């Protein structure tokens, strides 16, 4: 009897994950998102049709050579800058592309996120200084653009999803969140400014954070912001809304 790849889904087949941390990554797994929410509650919307996003970082060269530097020129790094060059296909109904179009036409900055394959990401604010489209008669409609940074591009930060959850007091249930990369450690979880207790209020293991129903059931109706502090000091926030 022969089985194709889809037949394997009918069986309890599991495969190991390569534990090597030296495996190379491929460009298709890096994605550019644009914030279509607010600075405090971002909604990261993918820019559809992406074919490439290049991140450039540079620093001004400051010549600090002097007469006693041994005849060699000396250079130090000055002001740093970053930019992203993007290219892709034109998808007319794509929300991410529409957000970039609006930002360019209105001359306003965009809040962008560069998402890495392991779930970590970098964010920053920048201006679209180029936003061009090509429509050849014998090829696909494509776009290209440049986002020039305003201020710093953030360090790589672990990601958490989903950013919001809802629980009814009439049907209390655990709320589960995923933190990527899964190797991220968690040092504390706070509801507002109050730390909650591991094991009794929440559990965490290998990228899975569970806020337990027993703790949530003791809250009154309303929206609660939980701050998850990772082992390297990053702060991840999620909102859980409790309904009657």
Please report, in tens digits, the pLDDT of each residue of the chain (244 residues total): 555 555 555 666 778 877 676 778 899 999 999 999 998 888 899 999 999 999 999 999 999 999 998 899 999 999 999 999 999 999 999 999 999 999 999 999 999 999 988 788 999 999 999 999 999 999 999 999 999 999 999 988 898 888 889 999 999 999 999 998 888 999 999 999 999 999 999 999 999 999 999 999 999 999 999 999 999 888 888 999 999 9
Q: How many CA atoms within 13 Å lie on the side-chain side of 23?
A: 9
- Report cis status (omega within 30 of 0) of the bond before 112: no
Q: Report the alpha-carbon distance of residue 63 to residue 219 in Å, rounded.
A: 61
- 112 by Cβ neighbours in 10 Å (0-12 / 13-18 / 19+) ranks as buried
Write down all domains in the chain, each with its CATH number in brackets.
26-149 (2.40.30), 159-243 (2.60.40.10)
Closest CA to 51 of 78, 21, 31, 65: 31
What order of strands is seen across the sheet that includes strand 222-230? 164-168, 235-243, 222-230, 186-191, 194-195
Closest CA to 235 of 176, 190, 174: 190
């Amino acid at each position: 009897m022969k089985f194709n790849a889809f037949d394997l889904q009918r069986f309890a087949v599991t495969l190991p994950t390569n534990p090597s941390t030296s495996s190379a990554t491929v460009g298709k797994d890096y994605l550019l998102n644009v914030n279509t929410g607010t600075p405090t509650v971002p909604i990261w919307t993918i820019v559809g049709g992406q074919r490439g996003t290049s991140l450039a970082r540079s620093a001004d060269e400051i010549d600090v050579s002097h007469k006693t530097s041994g005849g060699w020129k000396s250079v130090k790094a000055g002001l740093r800058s970053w930019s992203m060059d993007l290219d892709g296909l034109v998808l007319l109904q794509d929300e991410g592309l529409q957000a970039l179009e609006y930002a360019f036409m209105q001359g306003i900055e965009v809040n962008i996120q560069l998402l890495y394959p392991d779930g970590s990401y970098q964010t920053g604010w920048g201006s679209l200084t180029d936003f061009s489209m090509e429509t050849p008669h014998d090829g696909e409609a494509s776009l290209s653009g440049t986002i020039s940074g305003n201020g710093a591009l953030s360090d790589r930060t672990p990601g958490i999803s989903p950013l919001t959850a809802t629980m009814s007091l009439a049907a209390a249930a655990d709320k589960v969140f995923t933190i990527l990369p899964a190797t991220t450690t968690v040092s504390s979880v706070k509801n507002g400014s109050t730390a909650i207790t591991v094991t009794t209020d929440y559990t965490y293991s290998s990228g899975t954070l569970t806020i337990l129903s027993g703790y949530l059931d003791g809250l009154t109706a309303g929206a609660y912001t939980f701050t998850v502090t990772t082992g390297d000091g990053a702060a991840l926030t999620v909102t859980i809304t409790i309904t009657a």
